[in-house]
Structure 1
């Protein structure tokens, strides 16, 4: 494979995957409602608010780090540099982690626990459809440097 021609994705899968997960969660809530007792609903709202704040902060930090490193934010474009600083020191996929936490957090805040389940499904699909492709792209572009990065940094957390 020519490293200079390889692209991580030809279609922006993450927005589609997470959008379909939201739609599925809304549908499941309508047909199979799950209600939390009042006290648990308050606790869930607090946890959801915290997760939402963490998710938004993580995504903004990740995008800023990519821009500062002068590489693309879009998954369909070839990356110019292997970014290993900022949130990428802790997770190889901070934006996808942020999407997952945001979905779970918003679900807890609105009282739809199906959002939490669908966030896990979306994360699994993102790993299969997106992350593995992106990792092959990064491996072809950066070789051993990317392998060393993978050894010291987890894919999700």
Structure 2
């Protein structure tokens, strides 16, 4: 595949998709609440949500630090300089998107707003359709066999 034809994303779609999903979930929760999370479990679910939120932030920071440490742009709009297969990228090809999804789920558990679960799924699906195929074509064009081997041994999410 020609590296010129497989450019990185033109816009930072994933952060925009997740931010739009989170803002929409907040608005939808105020306008038309879905089935609320049962209150007897509220404290326990909020505690689980807080733990997931912290895990999501830690995963995101770990992934970003790993990319920076390997002199590879964090932005998916810039050309990858190196194929990063260490840190959280050993376990997931998309740890930052996984962190975004966990963050949205955590907000749903903490707030009791079920729209966050819908937002997480829709954002995940949109990222899967819009961003990931282009990113994978770019990485395959840049790193060829090395990326193909990495893709075969590392799952997309977890």
Equivalent residue number for residue 43 of structure 1 = 44
After superposing the two structures, state which structure 1 stretch, 17-26 or 136-145, moved more. Answer: 17-26
Matches within 5 A, 1:53-68: 53-68=54-69
Q: Partner of 2:53 in structure 1?
A: 52
Report which stretch shifted further, 123-132 or 26-35.
Answer: 26-35
Is 1:80 equivalent to 2:81 in the alignment? yes
SS in 2 for 1:3: coil
TM-aligned CA deviation for residue 2 of structure 1: 3.3
Unaligned runs of 5+ residues in structure 1 are none
Question: Equivalent residues in 2 for 1:1-150 (5 A)?
Answer: 1-3=1-3, 6-29=6-29, 30-150=31-151
1:84-134: CA deviation from partner (whole Å, max 9, x where unpaired): 000000000010100110111012111112101210110111011111110
Q: Shift of residue 32 of structure 1? A: 3.1
Alpha-carbon RMSD across the aligned residues, in angstroms, is 1.4
Which consecutive segments of 4 or more residues in structure 1 shift more than 3 A? Answer: none
TM-score where L is the length of structure 2: 0.93
- Unaligned runs of 5+ residues in structure 2 are none
What secondary structure, in the 3-state scheme, does the structure 2 residue paired with 1:143 have? helix
- Mapped to 2, the partners of 1:133 and 1:47 lie a distance apart of 34
TM value normalised by structure 1:
0.94
Instruction: Provide the rounded CA distance (Å) in 2 between the counterparts of 1:4 and 1:138.
Output: 12
Secondary structure in structure 2 of the residue aligned to 1:98: helix
- Residue-pair matches, total: 157
